Amino acid sequence: MPFDYRIVAAVVGIALELVSEGVYVCGTLKNTIRPHVFTWLGWGIIATIVGAAQFVSGAGATVWVTASVALMCFTVASLALRQGNAYIHPSDWIFFIGSVCAILSWLLTHEPLVAVVIVMIADTLAFVPMIRKAYKKPDEDSALAFFFSTLRNVFALIALQSFVPVNWIYPSFIFFSDGTFMTLILIRRYQRRPSV
């Protein structure tokens, strides 16, 4: 069997996902990170749909990375509920229902690329409650976890077997959104530090 760099990239991507979410799981168990349950539940559902769309479109080993993301998102959502991190702001329901509606609209289209674009909209809607929380309480989130998540998507792109839009657009989007969120956390921590 010849060497396939895509499998190596997928394994590295999965390892980075485990490190990223490992930081989140440990922080959640220690109550130093307080994940937003709707965001993580939405991301788990979204990653499951993207993984299915990638599988149908022949993405190859990248599907393994996406499946690991789905599993870890559901794990973090479960821990958030278990730890009592389930405060739901009234506007969170709007974003959660909006993300679920976007997912349901994909089910009606049966088109993988349309699915991924709709899921990116749903992902953005699911992210809003977490962005609001991180802006107000940046110390309750992990910039390190989002650094590893951003890096994971580089390897997810390298692992692609079929470089068609349905396969590369979502990892590229997540690279951008997670990197932006990491930057938001760091900026807000800097802004909130005591003046000397």
> Does the residue 71 lie in any domain?
yes
Domain count for the chain: 1
pLDDT band at 144 (very low <50, low <70, confident <90, very high): very high
Cα separation, 40 vs 163, whole angstroms:
28
* pLDDT > 70 in the chain, percent: 93
45 against 186, higher pLDDT: 186
Q: Could you tell me if residue 135 is inside a domain?
A: yes
- Asked whether residue 196 is assigned to any structural domain, the reply reads no
Confidence of residue 87 (pLDDT cuts 50, 70, 90): low
Q: How many residues does the chain have?
A: 196
Q: What is the pLDDT of residue 157?
A: 92
Instruction: Tell whether 164 is covered by a domain.
Output: yes
| Mean pLDDT computed over 109-130 | 80
pLDDT, averaged across the chain: 85
Please give the residue range of the domain that contains residue 145.
Answer: 5-191
What proportion of the chain, given as a percentage, has pLDDT over 90?
A: 35
CB 34 within 8 A of CB 77: no
Average pLDDT over residues 106-115: 75
